[in-house]
Amino acid sequence: MNPSKGGRIGLYAYGILILAFLYLPLISVGFASVSQARYLSFPIRQYTTQWYGQALESDTVSDLLWISLQVATIVTIISMVLGFFGALAFARYHWRFRRLYQKLILLPIFFPQSVLGLALLMWFNAVGITPTWHTAIIAHLVWIAPIATLIIAIRAYSFDPALEEAARDMGCSTWQTLREVTIPLLMPGVISAGLFSFLLSWGNFPLSLFTTGADLTLPEWLYAKMVSGYSPLVPTVGMLSVAASIVLVVVAFAVSMLTTRFKRNTTN
Amino acid sequence: MERINQRLGALSALPVVLFLAAGFLAPLIVVAAFSMMPQKVFSLANLPDFSSYAIMVKEGYWESLLVSLAMALAATLILFVICWPLAFAMAKVFGRFTLVLTIGVVMTLFVSENIRLFGWVLTLMKGGLIEGYWRTWTGQSFDGLLYNVPVIIFGLVYVYLPFMLFPLAQGISMVPDDARQAAFDLGANRWQIFREVELPLAAPGIMVGCLITFVLTAGAIAESKLLGGRAVIVISDEIERAFTYGQNWPLGSALAVTLIGVVGTLAIFGVSRIDLDAIMGRRR
């Protein structure tokens, strides 16, 4: 019944092909970022790292990085908190409007993001708020907080309610149960939700486009440069933004592996 | 215990519900209200006249909506065909390789959509990665592959692949191996097993995957702008233009309400039929 050996090899090859397809454009961007020519044309004749030097020295780029970093950090913290409680209501407790609530959480994810950004712009205008990068935080959260909720909910589903009940039977208050049992058990989910939140906010473009006002995030600046003509800094800054994401993911993996090993050693 | 559950459930839902009420539902109401306003006003303190909807029909904006929906449908069907074998392999065949694939695919989601599409521009343009090397090796030149409708659909397929792949894999993992084995023992061929066993049992995952892909591709904008060079105008592009160049918020809102009406109906219909607890893996 299961695929033959040839079939299995075919499927592995297909998987690798899809991965290659997903990464091919980034390879082009990578090559473009080290091309000497001011107007890019393949094959590349002369390689240089000068654009990286220019990008790192540029004040515009460091301003963009700083704004994107602030937005992503605040979005991460708030969506971890909203998502933690949201996930308990989503998966753990059986309450009256749970089904309806689950659907409300899904709707912003099933929604065209550029339209959501415009709707928020009109809403801010109607209540008299001038858009700056602060309002972009709200826009990002409308999309990212539900995603964080879902990620933590997956963890909350596999959680044994008897553990909380035991804590309560032994005399813990609701707050103590939360602190001593629920939070530690859901922590891995909360951390991966935080990682997702940061990275999704860092790379988001359609929500930022209408909600940052005069400020610009990194993806917005890249887009503006892309449509207004080629600049050698576009691939370079793009690569820097990708590199920042990769560093964050690698650090997160390393930390999680070290903590598991540390815990195993201490229990032995 | 039951009472405590009720109270804690409502209490912990409260922050995110309040936030979504203010940040999601309220803006939608404002858009709906603006769509009824007279042309080119910037406040809601006017008498509604519904002129935007009339203009939308008269000046052919609905064509952009049809274009967007048709491209979304094409991208969804193509993605289903491309992703099914891989999703099947991830759920049933690959062992550790599933983890590698998952991480590899998720990582691309963290790179801004812009940068990835820009990468395709550099790959496909005249003098880009493909044409440039082809010219060097064969001596023949051809025009770039950009700025047409198929390349927009290609861009949609590329960007939204993860949104089809993961729900499908989740759906297929819900098909018990015993059911497939039994069908095989009773003499079903590969196609019959797919149609009679896998398709119905994996239906929740298929529905989530197709729904989310269709909804997101119908509202997509960057693909047609960056890769398509406006070979066609998609509905989100019309909406954006009405807001920026046109300075006509009511018209933009009416277009947005129409798009939301179509995809929102689909989303609500689909979401209401899905048992989230079953898909996301409740124990018991």
Query: How many inter-chain contacts (A to B, CB under 8 Å) are there?
Result: 302
B211/A108 Cβ within 8 A = no
ipTM: 0.84
Q: Which residues of B touch A108 (CB under 8 A)?
A: 20, 24
In a domain, B231, yes or no: yes
Hunting for tokens 């040839």 — which residue is that? A6
Best mutation target, B41, B221, B276, B277, to test chain A (most A CBs within 10 A): B276
CATH of the domain at B262: 1.10.3720.10
In a domain, B111, yes or no: yes
pLDDT for the residue numbered A14: 92
Amino acid letter for position A245? S
CA angle A80, A84, A86 (to 5 degrees): 115
A238/B94 Cβ within 8 A = no
Strand, coil or helix: what is B273? coil
Residues B61 and B269: their CA atoms lie apart, in Å, by 26
- What would the 3-class secondary structure string for chain A be? CCCCHHHHHHHHHHHHHHHHHHHHHHHHHHHHHCECCCCCCCCCCCECCHHHHHHHHCHHHHHHHHHHHHHHHHHHHHHHHHHHHHHHHHHHCCCCCHHHHHHHHHCCCCCCHHHHHHHHHHHHHHHCCCCCHHHHHHHHHHHHHHHHHHHHHHHHHCCCHHHHHHHHHCCCCHHHHHHHHHHHHHHHHHHHHHHHHHHHHHHCCHHHHHHCCCCCCHHHHHHHHHHCCCCCHHHHHHHHHHHHHHHHHHHHHHHHHHHHHHHHHHHC
Among the partner residues B15, B115, B220, nearest to A29 by beta-carbon distance? B115
In a domain, B98, yes or no: yes
Residue B171 — φ and ψ, nearest 5°?
-65, -45
Both tokens of B163, joined, read: 């949104």
Residues A133-184 pLDDT 10s: 888 999 999 999 999 998 898 888 877 888 888 888 888 888 888 888 888 8
In a domain, B154, yes or no: yes
B271/A110 Cβ within 8 A = yes
Best mutation target, B16, B25, B262, to test chain A (most A CBs within 10 A): B16
Distance from CA of A110 to the nearest CA of B (A): 6
pLDDT for the residue numbered B75: 94
Task: Select the highest-mean-pLDDT range: A94-98, A229-233, A237-241, B161-165.
Answer: B161-165
Distance from CA of B58 to the nearest CA of A (A): 23
Residues B176-199 pLDDT 10s: 888 888 888 888 888 888 888 888
pLDDT for the residue numbered A259: 81
Confidence band, pLDDT 50/70/90 cuts, at residue A191: confident
Range(s) of the domain holding residue B273? 55-279
Confidence band, pLDDT 50/70/90 cuts, at residue A2: low
β-partners of residue A47 are A35
Q: Answer whether A103's CB lies under 8 Å from B211's CB.
A: no
In a domain, B40, yes or no: no
Residues A78 and B46: their CA atoms lie apart, in Å, by 37
Best mutation target, B7, B31, B41, B110, to test chain A (most A CBs within 10 A): B110
Among the partner residues A26, A88, A174, nearest to B111 by beta-carbon distance? A26
Q: Which residues of A touch B261 (CB under 8 A)?
A: none
**CA proximity to B271, closest of B215, B198, B201:** B215
Question: How close are the terminal C-alpha atoms of chain A, in Å?
Answer: 43
In a domain, B3, yes or no: no
DSSP letter, residue B51: H
Best mutation target, A118, A143, A195, to test chain B (most B CBs within 10 A): A118
Among the partner residues B132, B253, B267, nearest to A41 by beta-carbon distance? B132
Both tokens of B104, joined, read: 């590899």
**What domains lie within chain A, and their CATH numbers?**
52-267 (1.10.3720.10)
Residues B45-54 pLDDT 10s: 777 787 888 8
Count the domains in chain B. Answer: 1
Q: Answer whether B213's CB lies under 8 Å from B164's CB.
A: yes
In a domain, B224, yes or no: yes
Residues A25 and B236: their CA atoms lie apart, in Å, by 24
Q: Which residues of B touch A15 (CB under 8 A)?
A: 86, 89-90, 94, 97, 101
In a domain, B239, yes or no: yes
Interface check B139 vs A, CB under 8 A: no
Interface check B120 vs A, CB under 8 A: yes
